Amino acid sequence: QSALTQPASVSGSPGQSITISCTGTSSDVGSYNYVSWHQHLPGKAPKLLIYDVSNRPSGVSDRFSGSKSGNTASLTISGLQPEDEGVYHCYSYTSTTAYVFGGGTKVTV
Amino acid sequence: QVQLQESGPGLVKPSETLSLTCDVSGVPISTHDWWTWVRQPPGKELEWIGEIHHSGNIDNYHPSLKSRVSISVDNSRNQVSLKVNSVTAADTAIYYCAMASHYRIDLWGQGTLATVSS
């Protein structure tokens, strides 16, 4: 099972919006609405940001939003803030290995 | 507050067994469906290793690791354990314990680095 494809890095200025793509295949992203995103800040445990493509867990800022079209899912961060700097991973449920992950995108503000 | 804390030897010799423990605090293991291990080798993407139901009766593993990996739960100690047999340098990675349900990972530990080297 190949990893999902994410851009290595994305940057933006404070207050701007950025979008991170996550491209899979018809066996994972394209087949299931079980795409999640997590945020990995330096020195901290990864944190769930988005699940089931576009749902936010309680306590997650509404500046984070998710969507999906075909085999590609996307995470948008609106009103970019310095504390958003970190690595963002997408992952999808698959029928073969439970989860397949993206390579991670480093966000620089 | 639920927390997951991984621990292990840090350094393991090739061909030996890597044993890691995840201490779960703030909630009984039995209250969450699936307990999962994920790893990230240096410079590579995250890789799902496997999962176990809180009952200990159902487990699933990555096909490429299935022959060498086992996951178990100890409800009395509120711990989840991972064993990887016959390790090689390719098993060097940060290993994460995670709590999962409904096709998503709800909570991660901070991870522990395991290095395979003689």
Distance of CA A47 to the CA centre of its chain: 11
Average pLDDT over residues B73-91: 96
In chain A, which residues touch B (CB < 8 A)? 3, 32, 34, 36, 38, 44-48, 51-52, 57, 89, 91, 93, 96-104
Read off the pLDDT of residues A37-65 as tens digits, 9 standing for 90 and up. Answer: 999 998 899 999 999 999 999 999 999 99
Q: What is the pLDDT of residue A2?
A: 61
For residue A71, what are the CA distances in angstroms to A1, A18, A33, A53, A77? 15, 20, 10, 12, 20
**What is the distance between the alpha carbons of residues A53 and A74, in angstroms, rounded to a whole number?**
8
- Which one of A32, A57, A89 has the shortest CB-CB distance to B46? A89
Nearest CA of chain B to the CA of A80: how many Å? 24
Q: What is the pLDDT of residues B22-63, one digit of tens each?
A: 999 999 999 889 999 999 999 999 999 999 999 999 999 999
CA distance B56 to A6: 35
Among candidate residues A31, A34, A18, A23, the one with its CA nearest the CA of residue A103:
A23
Helix, strand or coil for residue B51?
A: strand
Alpha carbons A38 and A58: distance in angstroms, whole number:
14
Residue B90 has pLDDT above 70, yes or no: yes
Q: How far is CA B76 from the centre of its chain?
A: 18
Looking at residue B69, what is its pLDDT?
A: 98
For chain B, give the mean pLDDT. Answer: 95
